[in-house]
Chains A and B, each alone.
Chain A
Amino acid sequence: MNTVTEIVESTAVDPNFIASVLREMGTESAALIPILQAIQERYRYLPEEALVEISRALGLSMATVYGVATFYAQFSLEPKGKYVIKVCDGTACHVRGSLPVYDAIRRKVNLVDGRSTTEDKLYTVETVSCLGACGLAPVVTINDKVYGQMTAEAIRLIIDTLEQEGITDD
């Protein structure tokens, strides 16, 4: 049983979807952020074609749209992996050893050179500041499932399970 909700793999941008978002939110420049949020929610990142379309519709330069998209941490310009693993590095998690957990995950999924998503787009590994579950520190989330009191050993096992189940699911 896979308890982790899988992210829909991003396919080509659907122009009808963009059109409907624009219809709903309007094309005033103030609508930019809500529009980006809607796109991010659907694709889990902001595809370049979508940004080109939005900049045209709102009459904003591409650079401006890109500037806004890179300013907020909630937006991502890279397609994310099927599993997004977030390691909390808030104060509580940090002092209880979140970084060794983070390093263990990166090694386990073979992430090198400061990249955050694996070549095969299976995993994205990020740190976040305080998930608000300090009692469970250190905390890791995989998509929307929360894992408390993580250790390097425990998270490796979880990923192993995930991999097996992920494969049988395909």
Chain B
Amino acid sequence: MSWLMVNGQSVVLNGEKSVLDVVRKAGIDLPTLCYHPELTIHGACRLCMVEIEGRGIVAACHTPPEAGMVISTNSAVLRRLRKMALELLLSRHDRECTSCSRSGHCSLQDLSYRFGITDLRFKQEHDKQLPIDRSSIILRDPNKCILCGECVRICGEIQGIGVYDFVHRGAKMVVDTAFGQHLAETDCVHCGQCAAICPTGALVIKPQINEAWAALNDPTKTVIIQIAPAVRVSIGEEFNLPPGQSTMGQLISALRSMGASKVFDTSFAADITVLEETKEFFQRVESGENMPQFTSCCPAWVKYAEQSYPEYLSHLSSCRSPQQMLGSLVKKHYAKELGKKPEELFMISIMPCTAKKFEASREEFTTSGVPDVDLVITTQELAHMIKEAGIDFASLPTTPPDQPFGFVTGAGVIFGVTGGVSEAVLRLGYELITEQELEDVVFSEVRGYSGLRSCELTIKDRTLRLAVVNGLANAKTLLEDLKSGKAQYDLVEVMACPGGCIGGAGQPITNVNRQVRHERGAGLYLDDKAGPVQKSQQNPAVLEVYQKWLKEPGSAEAHEALHTTYRERDARCKITQPLPGKV
């Protein structure tokens, strides 16, 4: 057994990769601003400095631990250097904390407080006001960037895209897009992961809270809300509840008291997605065309396919995402039931996802010229609004969602976690293949969190080859394997965010912590188990909607309301072909 010393205390080594890991294991929270356990090591911020006897001062994040090391983390010289490193970062940082949307969740702010930075010895560089990029749903303010490179690495390593990199050199170095393009013109898929991981306010999600309040306060608008599955198990974190605790009932109460007239559950539309997508899948299995089928509920993945793998667009399920299915049903059919015009209804979705903001603005998703989903608010934004309204969230009573889009099954709820869509489809697919009732609804083969997993399932006389992917870099690997013939699948589920929607960039900032994501996932599986129905095909409210408006899965009516088309994007990631049916 090998061990080393940290501040005079012995610590056993157990395969840790860096001195940082060992020191943290010893209970010392070394500060870091450029380290993330799921990314490669950058070693630029120098805040993790420690002193190792015989070696001097090193960055703990990229120093491998060795038996017998004698490490100290808190000597006078370390404290002085660390403080200076922070001061130097702050001298290049636009410190308008009170109007920064990251305030309160900013690592730089936290560390400045923790290290007692009360006055700055280095004058702020005022000549470097760089333009803020407001072209996309992700706002970039380079004046707040501390060059930690986390955005560069998460976009390159996890999403396989690489929208940013370090450009120029020395004092002029900045993190930027190629040719300084506006984000909206790049191959950014709006997953928002870069904003979630950015330790400062240099990358934030464009706030749309005011638009939500404006609608809620407008007496001429009937505000209809939908809440995505993953929101219920994460929003509590903003109110000191543990991750994974389901707070759907409180969420509905809060939204009602804020002025929402109806609150629906997006999981309802997920149940519909299961019926449509499974139908489509078996049709493709029969015809042998466009196999494997890829899921289409993740808008970041859809844009990625449109720009990088257009040859696979015909493989994507034509199903709209649950968000857009519900929006479409509300504007096309439910409005009539209420005796309202589509434009009199204002639909706000509460989403764990930032790409949903982009999705809602796509021209495909409108009814008589008005958007099906008028506004998308992230989990974080809603938490903000609840705080602004002074609502004591944790002690709210629970309220059930409204009908007709309020009854949901466990299959619809697990859409929020990677593997969930596949499992929900399997719960129906099994019964279609065997014509028998499925007893045990758990398909553990597709559960788990690794970025790329696959399995073969034999159901009666049929073998299904499934792959479940999260993180677009893994999707790229899978697509390349398909292209080269190295792998063959029948059904592929793709979610851009780590862990699926529970790890969406609209979630509370703790999002970047793997453990927290797993607890949220466990919360969804618990909700699935606790509900009265676990199979989409047994959702009575869904069956009623088919009876009333859509006839049966795959019907012309269903296609009109629930399906969509995809179009290739050019080198600037713009769609060039017209929308079918429009000129």
Cβ < 8 Å to A, chain B residues 53-77 = none
Give Cα A62–Cα B307 distance, bound, in whole angstroms: 14
Give Cα A64–Cα B162 distance, bound, in whole angstroms: 7
A63 touches B165 (CB 8 A): yes
The contact string, 1 if C-beta is below 8 Å from chain A, for chain B 162-176, is 111111110000001
Does B177 make an interface contact (CB < 8 A)?
yes
Cβ < 8 Å to A, chain B residues 166-200 = 166-169, 176-179, 186-187
A66 touches B571 (CB 8 A): no
On chain B, the residues within 8 Å of A70 by CB distance are 167-169
Give Cα A152–Cα B196 distance, bound, in whole angstroms: 55
A63 touches B176 (CB 8 A): yes
The contact string, 1 if C-beta is below 8 Å from chain B, for chain A 64-96, is 111100110000010000000000000000000
A157 vs chain B, min Cβ distance (A): 35
On chain B, the residues within 8 Å of A163 by CB distance are none
B179 touches A66 (CB 8 A): yes
Residue in A52, A65, A67, A77 whose beta carbon sits within 8 Å of that of B571 in the complex: A52
A71 touches B168 (CB 8 A): yes
B299 vs chain A, min Cβ distance (A): 21
Give Cα A61–Cα B177 distance, bound, in whole angstroms: 10
Does A48 make an interface contact (CB < 8 A)?
yes
Give Cα A154–Cα B148 distance, bound, in whole angstroms: 49
Cβ < 8 Å to B, chain A residues 39-64 = 48, 51-52, 55, 60-64
Does B161 make an interface contact (CB < 8 A)?
yes
User: Majority SS of interface residues in chain B?
Assistant: mixed
On chain A, the residues within 8 Å of B448 by CB distance are none
Give Cα A65–Cα B161 distance, bound, in whole angstroms: 13
A62 touches B168 (CB 8 A): no
Residue in A48, A51, A63, A71 whose beta carbon sits within 8 Å of that of B162 in the complex: A63
On chain B, the residues within 8 Å of A61 by CB distance are 156, 161-163, 165, 178
On chain B, the residues within 8 Å of A67 by CB distance are 165-167
Give Cα A156–Cα B571 distance, bound, in whole angstroms: 45
Give Cα A61–Cα B162 distance, bound, in whole angstroms: 5
On chain A, the residues within 8 Å of B162 by CB distance are 60-64
On chain A, the residues within 8 Å of B167 by CB distance are 63, 66-67, 70-71
Which residue, of B164, B167, B176, B187, has the highest number of chain A Cβ atoms within 10 A?
Answer: B167
Using a Cβ–Cβ cut-off of 8 Å, how many residues does chain A contribute to the interface with B? 15
Q: Whose C-beta in chain B lies nearest to the C-beta of A49? A: B571
Give Cα A65–Cα B166 distance, bound, in whole angstroms: 10
B359 vs chain A, min Cβ distance (A): 24
On chain B, the residues within 8 Å of A71 by CB distance are 166-169
On chain B, the residues within 8 Å of A62 by CB distance are 162, 177-179, 186-187
A48 touches B169 (CB 8 A): no
B571 touches A64 (CB 8 A): no
On chain B, the residues within 8 Å of A51 by CB distance are 178
Give Cα A7–Cα B166 distance, bound, in whole angstroms: 31
Give Cα A139–Cα B152 distance, bound, in whole angstroms: 42
Cβ < 8 Å to A, chain B residues 234-265 = none
B168 touches A63 (CB 8 A): no
Q: Whose C-beta in chain A lies nearest to the C-beta of B160? A: A61
Give Cα A71–Cα B166 distance, bound, in whole angstroms: 9
Cβ < 8 Å to B, chain A residues 137-170 = none
Give Cα A61–Cα B176 distance, bound, in whole angstroms: 12
Give Cα A61–Cα B163 distance, bound, in whole angstroms: 7
B178 touches A66 (CB 8 A): yes
Give Cα A104–Cα B404 distance, bound, in whole angstroms: 78
Give Cα A71–Cα B169 distance, bound, in whole angstroms: 5
Q: Whose C-beta in chain A lies nearest to the C-beta of B170? A: A71
Cβ < 8 Å to B, chain A residues 93-144 = none
Give Cα A125–Cα B380 distance, bound, in whole angstroms: 51
On chain B, the residues within 8 Å of A63 by CB distance are 152, 162-165, 167, 176-178
Give Cα A55–Cα B162 distance, bound, in whole angstroms: 11
Give Cα A127–Cα B183 distance, bound, in whole angstroms: 33
Give Cα A120–Cα B169 distance, bound, in whole angstroms: 29
Q: Whose C-beta in chain B lies nearest to the C-beta of A68? A: B165
On chain B, the residues within 8 Å of A55 by CB distance are 178
Cβ < 8 Å to B, chain A residues 5-61 = 48, 51-52, 55, 60-61
Q: Whose C-beta in chain A lies nearest to the C-beta of B161? A: A61
B168 touches A65 (CB 8 A): no
B176 vs chain A, min Cβ distance (A): 7
Which residue, of B167, B178, B571, has the highest number of chain A Cβ atoms within 10 A?
Answer: B178
On chain A, the residues within 8 Å of B161 by CB distance are 61
Give Cα A64–Cα B165 distance, bound, in whole angstroms: 6
Residue in B156, B176, B178 whose beta carbon sits within 8 Å of that of A65 in the complex: B178
Give Cα A31–Cα B186 distance, bound, in whole angstroms: 25
On chain B, the residues within 8 Å of A77 by CB distance are 179
Which residue, of A62, A63, A64, has the highest number of chain B Cβ atoms within 10 A?
Answer: A63
On chain A, the residues within 8 Å of B165 by CB distance are 61, 63-64, 66-67
On chain A, the residues within 8 Å of B166 by CB distance are 67, 71
Which residue, of A48, A55, A64, has the highest number of chain B Cβ atoms within 10 A?
Answer: A64
A134 vs chain B, min Cβ distance (A): 25
Q: Whose C-beta in chain B lies nearest to the C-beta of A51? A: B178
Q: Whose C-beta in chain B lies nearest to the C-beta of A77? A: B179
Q: Whose C-beta in chain B lies nearest to the C-beta of A52? A: B571
B62 vs chain A, min Cβ distance (A): 21
Q: Whose C-beta in chain B lies nearest to the C-beta of A69? A: B167
Give Cα A60–Cα B162 distance, bound, in whole angstroms: 8
B181 vs chain A, min Cβ distance (A): 9
Q: Whose C-beta in chain B lies nearest to the C-beta of A61? A: B162
Q: Whose C-beta in chain A lies nearest to the C-beta of B168? A: A70
Give Cα A64–Cα B178 distance, bound, in whole angstroms: 8
Q: Whose C-beta in chain A lies nearest to the C-beta of B156? A: A61
Give Cα A77–Cα B176 distance, bound, in whole angstroms: 15
Cβ < 8 Å to A, chain B residues 526-555 = none
* Cross-chain pairs A/B with CB under 8 angstroms, 5 sampled: A61-B163, A62-B177, A63-B176, A66-B178, A71-B166
Residues of B near any A CB (own CB < 8 A): 152, 156, 161-169, 176-179, 186-187, 571
Q: Which 6 A-B pairs have the closest CB atoms?
A: A61-B162, A62-B178, A67-B165, A63-B165, A66-B178, A70-B167
Residues of A near any B CB (own CB < 8 A): 48, 51-52, 55, 60-67, 70-71, 77
* New A-B contacts (10) at CB < 8 Å, excluding given A63-B163, A66-B178: A51-B178, A61-B162, A61-B165, A61-B178, A62-B186, A63-B165, A63-B177, A64-B162, A71-B166, A71-B169
